[in-house]
Every structure is written in C-alpha cells, then in structure tokens.
Amino acid sequence: MSGHNATKRNFLHRTGAIGAGAAIASFAGRQAASASTAAPLLHAPGPYVPTPESLAGHTAARWFRDAKFGVFIHWGVYSVPAWGTNVAYHAAEWYSYAMHIGDPGIDQSYQHHLETYGADVNYDDFIPRFRAERYDARDWIELIERAGARYFVLTSKHHDGFQLFPNTASDRNSVVLGPRRDLVGELFHAARSSHLKRGIYHSLGEFFNPALQTPPWNPYTKAPIPYAGYKPVQNYVDDYLHVMLKTLVERYDPDLLWADGEHWHADLGAGPVFKPEDMDWRGNEILAYYYNQAASRPHPKEVLVNDRFEASHRDYATLEGDKSGYSLRADKWEACLTLGRSWGYDTNEDPASVKSSPRIVQLLVDIVSKNGNLLLNIGPRADGSIPSWQSERLLDVGAWLDRNGAAIYDTVPWSRAADGDLRYTVSEHSFNVLGLSWPGTLLTLPGDLPLDSGSRMRLLGAEGHRIPFRNTDSGVEVQLPSRNPNGDGYPFVLQITKRS
C-alpha cells in the first residue's frame, strides 16, 4: 500500500474523523473534523468466530474506501419478460412475484402476462429462453473499465431463485438450465487481467421456494406448480443458503459479498416474501467464514460485506434508490442506484425516469463528497448484450473521470461536504472544489476554504488552464472561462494546490 493511503487510514483511525492525509495536513488538515441450536456453518481457520465481539474487529477494505465508483449488474431469467411497472418494488426484476398480483391498482404485470403469454405460461417457462448467447464477459469487463469503475457486483441469485453459478444445493442454475454456462465464473475469469475488484450479490431469501413455506403457484389457476431445478432440502439455511454462499466464496474468491432480501416477511400483494418470520439466516456464521477464508492464506486479502446479512456486523452501509439528498457520514457507505426505474432489463422503462449522463456524474460527485461510493446498476438483455443507452452512459461517466478523476479517486471528504452547488474532496496534494452546475465566468467561493496567496488553482479538463482568483469581503472571486470544458450540464473541478 502507498504511504498516502496509510497516512489517510492512520488519521481516520486516530481521530475518528473525516479528513485529509498528513501529506496535506499543513494545507487543509486543520479544517478537517468529525463529520463503525442449528448446525453451524463450517469455519475456515482464522481469527474470526461468529460472535459480535469478534466480528466487530473487521473493518472496511481500504480499496473500497478509495474506489468510489462501481458497476452493479442485475441479470437473470427476469431479463426474458423484461417488463416492469412504476410501482415500488415491482420493477422488471420482480416480474416473477408481480405477475401474481391480481389487483391492477397495485400492479399491471398480471394483466400484461395474461395478454402477452397466456395463463398457462409460468415464470419458469422463461428459463429456456434465458440463453446468454451474446454474452462476452471480456466485453463487459472492458466496458466497466472504460466507465472508470474500480469494482463490480454481479447478481449470482436474485429473488426469483435462479442462480448464475453451479452448486450442489440446487439445479436451478445456469449450468444445468438455460445457458448451461457458469455466468459468474466467466465474468470473474475475464476480470483477472483487469484492475477491477470483484463483487457478488446474493439474495438470501426468495419469492417462492418450497423450503421457505412458499411453494410456487400459477397466478391464474391458483394450482401448485413445480419449482424448476429444485432439490428438496430439510433446512433452507443449512442445506441451501449456506451451501451456496460457501460455494461462491470458495469457487470465485470475491472481494465483496453483497447480500439482499434479508429481513422481509411481508405480503406485497401476492403472499409473504423472502422468508418465514422466525427464520434466522445466521449471518454471523457467513461473515466469519468469509473473513477467515480471506485472512487465512499465505497472502491475505481485504474483503468486506454490506449491511444486509442480518448479522451483528457490517463493513459499510447501503442506501438504495434515488434519495432527495445525502448527508455527510463518518462511516463508509454506498449508494446503489439504477439508470432508470428497473434494475433488470425493462422494455417498459419509463423514459422520464432514465438518468442523463450529466445527472449520473452529479450524483457521483455528491455521494463521494459525503464519504460514499456510487454503485451504478445496469441491466443486460437476456442474450447478454448491454443496451446502447446503458453503455453510452457508462462511457460518458468514464470520459468525465478521465479528466476529473483526481478529485474523486483516493480522496476523503472535507469537514463539510457542500455549499449550495459546491462540493469538496481532499486528495494527497490538493483540495478540490467540485461544482454541480456551471456558474458562468464568475464564481465566488466561501472565504474559509484552504486557499491563500500561496495557492494555485487549475480547472481540470482544461489542460494547463490556470484560474485567476482574488480575495474579497464576500469570499474568493474566481474567473472562469466562458464554457464548461466538460460539456453542458456536467460538474466541473477546481483543483487547489500549494505553489511549489
């Protein structure tokens, strides 16, 4: 690890604060301030045991703190019907549940399915049509890299229960059915030659599963139907969930485990979802096993988990979906957002809900300034191709990061995140002012920024463009060019350094 990263971590650990590294302590550090009875899963030998006290000693991976931007990928059988509504939680990836909701006031998927496919077509009849024939994992990795992301998180199993990897607990997977390929393995293998950290999403619960006391049924006849690929198990947690998670850890050695579907026991229109009310996922055992697998090797690696394992510990918090505003937090967090309304591919996507490229970058800037990471979701088609409107937005973000990434990657927040449309980050040798919108040729900065006569200011994206400024009674006046070098609507970055 670099001396810069070590300095930042020591500062954070010592003060419990959000602040700058020691390399710029004399420059901006003074402004930094405070803004962590069933059969057990077998444990890899190591320092962790499944108790709150032991797991509390695990911290978020350093690479995650510095990465700032990742790509989420929702892909599965739901990419075949590829149809959702504008109702919360009933987007395209929820099709297998939403098609059971007969009340059109709640969701229209029931009527859509009836008119499009007929009452005798069940959700699992889509599995043979999930073929992934155009899936090229190397192309996906190249796109993610060009987007400027430093990690990705791929769905290994969503709430429909279909797995994109082989395992002994179930034949409801992409090697036995559908594509007959290890879709997780192909992407992880392609990523080996990249700089990307590799993450796996796994839904702990499912919409329908006989072992969860929710066997599947036809929404029109109400008759019970088979659960394709299901192997009867005595205990969902021991014989199914933990087997799959252990397989994912051992087979793919992920840098990040991202859980979901963890605690719901609610009827959202078609019966209770995810799990029986009294079921315990025994998340502490999962975490201990995963942490030990990473630590107990000749060359240990840093790993981390999100906050959805229903465990006593988390390495970071997740905030899902568009929010009206984010707050500066001392603990590490991640905003997971999708490009439109659905997370899976949706042919019924509302154009008004699709985020523009400038809006995505604005969100990235805002989130990073508040100590967060942006995990931005895409939803490939069933054949494995990525729609051009999705790839274009990723490439636009990457182009912006090529010019302005020095103010995003490997940074920490300042003592406050925002003043109006202005955001702030601190890197090893600079203080960064990021504007969400172009102010015109004159910008007035607050007078308390770490900026004085010994400072130099540069507008990133305008190579070699020094920016003149002067102190006034109202703040620091900055003279800007007539046009934003990043293009209309995009954030801009003023990089402030000490004169050498």
* pLDDT level of residue 285 (50, 70, 90 thresholds): very high
Q: If you compute the radius of gyration of the chain from its CA atoms, what whole number of angstroms results?
A: 24
What's the rounded Cα separation, in Å, for the pair 127 and 365? Answer: 39
What stretch(es) of the chain map to CATH 2.60.40.1180? 412-498
What's the rounded Cα separation, in Å, for the pair 171 and 125? Answer: 15
Segment 392-406 mean pLDDT: 98
3-state secondary structure of 7: helix
What's the rounded Cα separation, in Å, for the pair 42 and 111? Answer: 46
Q: In what order do the strands lie in the sheet with 475-479?
A: 442-445, 475-479, 469-472
pLDDT above 70: residue 467: yes
Segment 284-307 mean pLDDT: 96
What's the rounded Cα separation, in Å, for the pair 454 and 227? Answer: 69
Summarised one tens digit per residue, pLDDT across range 250-265 is: 999 999 999 998 767 7
Instruction: Output the six-digit token pair for 174.
Output: 């992409």
Instruction: Output the six-digit token pair for 447.
Output: 């007078």
Q: Measuring CA to CA, which residue among 429, 313, 305 is closest to residue 50?
A: 313
* Exposure string over 64-90, b if 16+ CB within 10 A, otherwise e: bbbbbbbbbbbbbbbbbbbbbbebebb
pLDDT above 50: residue 320: yes
pLDDT at 277: 87
pLDDT at 458: 95
Residue 242 CB coordination number (10 Å): 23
DSSP classification of residue 211? G
Q: Domain 64-407: what homologous superfamily?
A: Glycosidases (3.20.20.80)
**What is the sign of the dihedral through the CA atoms of 208, 210, 214 and 218?**
positive
**What is the sign of the dihedral through the CA atoms of 44, 334, 107 and 74?**
negative
128 half-sphere exposure, CB direction, 13 A CA radius: 3
Question: Which residues is 154 bridged to in the sheet?
Answer: 73, 200
What stretch(es) of the chain map to CATH 3.20.20.80? 64-407
What's the rounded Cα separation, in Å, for the pair 224 and 206? Answer: 17
What's the rounded Cα separation, in Å, for the pair 398 and 395? Answer: 5
What's the rounded Cα separation, in Å, for the pair 489 and 500? Answer: 33
Segment 51-78 mean pLDDT: 97
Amino acid letter, 306: N
* pLDDT level of residue 386 (50, 70, 90 thresholds): very high
The model scores a pTM over 0.85 = yes
What's the rounded Cα separation, in Å, for the pair 35 and 22? Answer: 18
* Exposure string over 148-176, b if 16+ CB within 10 A, otherwise e: bbbbbbbbbbbbbbbbbbbbebbebbbbe
Q: State the pairing for strand pair 492-498/455-459.
A: antiparallel
Q: Measuring CA to CA, which residue among 96, 225, 247 is closest to residue 169?
A: 247
- Candidates 3.40.228.10, 2.60.40.1180, 1.10.10.10, 3.20.20.70; CATH matching 412-498: 2.60.40.1180
Instruction: Output the six-digit token pair for 444.
Output: 């007035």
Segment 266-276 mean pLDDT: 87
Summarised one tens digit per residue, pLDDT across range 341-373 is: 999 999 999 898 999 999 999 999 999 999 999
Specify whether the CB–CB gap between 81 and 332 falls below 8 A: no
Amino acid letter, 326: Y
Summarised one tens digit per residue, pLDDT across range 162-212 is: 999 999 999 999 999 999 999 999 999 999 999 999 999 999 999 999 999
- The answer for 271, left when phi > 0, alpha when psi is -120 to 50, beta otherwise, is left
What's the rounded Cα separation, in Å, for the pair 194 and 408? Answer: 20
* pLDDT mean across residues, the chain: 90
Specify whether the CB–CB gap between 345 and 382 falls below 8 A: yes
Summarised one tens digit per residue, pLDDT across range 6-50 is: 333 332 332 233 444 333 333 344 333 323 334 455 555 679 999
Cα–chain center distance at 113: 30
Residue 470 CB coordination number (10 Å): 9
Segment 402-412 mean pLDDT: 97
Cα–chain center distance at 147: 14
Q: Which residues contact 14 (CB under 8 A, 6 or more apart)?
A: none
Instruction: Output the six-digit token pair for 362.
Output: 């604005």
Q: Measuring CA to CA, which residue among 70, 214, 191, 99 is closest to residue 140?
A: 191
Instruction: Output the six-digit token pair for 247.
Output: 């397989």
pLDDT above 70: residue 469: yes
Q: Measuring CA to CA, which residue among 198, 284, 212, 211 is closest to residue 249?
A: 198
Q: CA angle, 219 as apex, 216 and 222 as ends, to 5°?
A: 75
What's the rounded Cα separation, in Å, for the pair 184 and 155? Answer: 8
Specify whether the CB–CB gap between 97 and 270 falls below 8 A: yes
